[in-house]
Amino acid sequence: MKVLFSIAVFFIVIALFSCRSTKTIQTAMSKKDSALIITPDSSRNDSLKFMHNVYQAVEKNRIDFETFSAKVKVDFEGSDGKKNDFNAFIRLRKDSAIWVSINALLGFEAFRVLITPDSVKVINKLDKVVQLRSVSYLKEITKLPFSFQELQDLLVGNPIYFSDNIVSYKKDAGGLSVLHMGPLFKHLLTLNPDNMIVQHSKLDDVDPVRARTADISYGDYETRDGKPFSTFRKITVSEKSKLDIEMKFKQFDFNIPLNFPFSIAKNYKLQ
């Protein structure tokens, strides 16, 4: 149950670059793709214009919303090396609240999480305890300046740690790849060149000592309100250890009325 409790919290931040997972990496993940600076194959002005247009096209696909709700099947590999899974129910009000209910075996609710821009609250129904933390708790468990904004983008499928600072690109039969350089990560984003839908995101730490890396694959897109939404995501995160997560969105809706129930029973202990 300790593993499930950790995953209940880590799930909503996708355990990005955390070193708290427990499976030892046997082989290092290749970083050569995102470490390689690709020289544009046209004149500088044309290349800058092309990269600007790519960024604008990616931004055009960005999902804007007021509310978001989903049922997600989450598969992960725990410390025992076995496959585990649970169902998560997500409710999100933009820039305001993220509510997650984690259902364990037999369908009973094991955890309930409520995150606001300034707080993190977790009800552990298995042990009848509650944790109340500031939003800095997200930074503690991810070891990153992780904000509410990145978290909600991660859940709805918008690219994170990505801006218009694209320094190079490569276009070939395998698709279109653009390399973004940020203060924390080198971000190699692979896109479908026909519609600029994100296919793969690879982030590598700019600090070689930390060697944090994450691979996020996006698939099974469905169009809702004119925007592409990835209903399947595979995430591999590593630093000193490795965590594999698959997310399958069984149901999802945007811009419907939602509530965020979060009552704490009187017999629950504060932890």
Residue-wise pLDDT tens digits, 219-244: 999 998 889 999 999 988 776 667 78
Domain extents for the chain? 2-17+32-254
Look up the CATH superfamily of 2-17+32-254: Lipoprotein localisation LolA/LolB/LppX (2.50.20.10)
Looking at residue 1, what is its pLDDT?
A: 40
pLDDT band, residue 68 (cuts 50/70/90): very high
**Predicted pLDDT at 192:** 93
| List of E strands, the chain | 23-24, 67-77, 83-93, 97-103, 109-116, 119-124, 129-134, 166-172, 175-181, 185-191, 198-205, 213-224, 227-238, 241-254, 269-270
pLDDT per position as a tens digit, 248-265: 999 999 999 999 999 998
**Mean pLDDT along residues 84-100:** 91
Chain-centroid distance, C-alpha 184: 16
pLDDT confidence band for 139 (50 / 70 / 90): low
Can you tell me the mean pLDDT for 102-112?
A: 81
**Res 65: pLDDT:** 94
